Amino acid sequence: MQVIYLTGAPATGKSTLSMALQAEISSLEVWDYGERLRIALQEKQGAAISYESLRGQSARVATPQDIQALDTRLLEWVQRNRAINHLVIDTHAVTSEEYGFRVTPFDAERIRALAPTLIVNLYVSAETAERRISTDPQGRRSVNVFKAAMHTMLQSSVAVSYSILAGAPAYFLDAERPTGELVDWFRAHLQ
């Protein structure tokens, strides 16, 4: 079974693709990192946190310690399920903050323990990211073309680093292609 680390900057369609993969491939489970983080923070703080609020206030509400605690849960989930189903981890280590960007990555030991078999980084043009975020922000910070491009490059750098550390191939998929084509690509790589 494959363990796929699915990543990309905001507005590349990770969540849309994850939902499509789950609907199309019965032997596949998805770990939606953002949603799991939202639930964990809600439990910790004892107050409701919306996904949009988490996106907009990332570093204000989620500390590196919160991320590490969730990473531990993720590792346990992968260990329990990797022999049963294909796994997709929908996440990104780079967040847009009021001061710039923050990277809260797996350390080398954790990425090796996670042992992804594929690293998949979705990308879109900076213009497309800017348009998608301005049209439907969903709590995301507004971006200009430069910041959208920078976010993509930073997230791509993390994907390459993970690929090297885990010894897993990294693929960079043009997410401006139809979702069905991306699902077909995944289906072919799950064989």
Q: Give the CATH number for residue 39.
A: 3.40.50.300
User: For position 48, what pLDDT does the model report?
Assistant: 86
Residue 128 identity (one-letter amino acid): T
User: For position 61, what pLDDT does the model report?
Assistant: 84
User: For position 93, what pLDDT does the model report?
Assistant: 92
Nearest-angstrom CA–CA distance, 66 and 81? 23
- Give the domain range for residue 80: 3-189
Residues in Cβ contact with 6 at an 8 Å cutoff, skipping those fewer than 6 apart = 14, 17, 18, 88, 89, 90, 91, 120, 122
User: For position 58, what pLDDT does the model report?
Assistant: 80
Q: In terms of pTM, does the model score above 0.85? A: yes
User: For position 170, what pLDDT does the model report?
Assistant: 98
In which element (H, E) is residue 103 found?
strand 100-103
**Count of structural domains within the chain:** 1
For residue 76 the two structure tokens come to: 């346990």
DSSP secondary structure letter of residue 10: T
DSSP sequence for 25-83:
-TTEEEEEHHHHHHHHHHHHHTS---HHHHHHHHHHH--HHHHHHHHHHHHHHHHHHTT
pLDDT tens for the chain, residues 1 to 191: 999 999 999 999 999 999 999 999 999 999 999 999 999 999 998 888 887 888 877 878 888 899 999 999 999 999 999 999 999 999 999 999 989 999 999 999 999 999 999 999 999 999 999 999 999 988 888 999 999 999 999 999 999 999 999 999 999 999 999 999 999 999 999 97
Nearest-angstrom CA–CA distance, 82 and 100? 36
Phi first, then psi, for residue 75 (nearest 5°) are -60, -40
Nearest-angstrom CA–CA distance, 49 and 43? 10
User: For position 60, what pLDDT does the model report?
Assistant: 82
User: For position 191, what pLDDT does the model report?
Assistant: 76
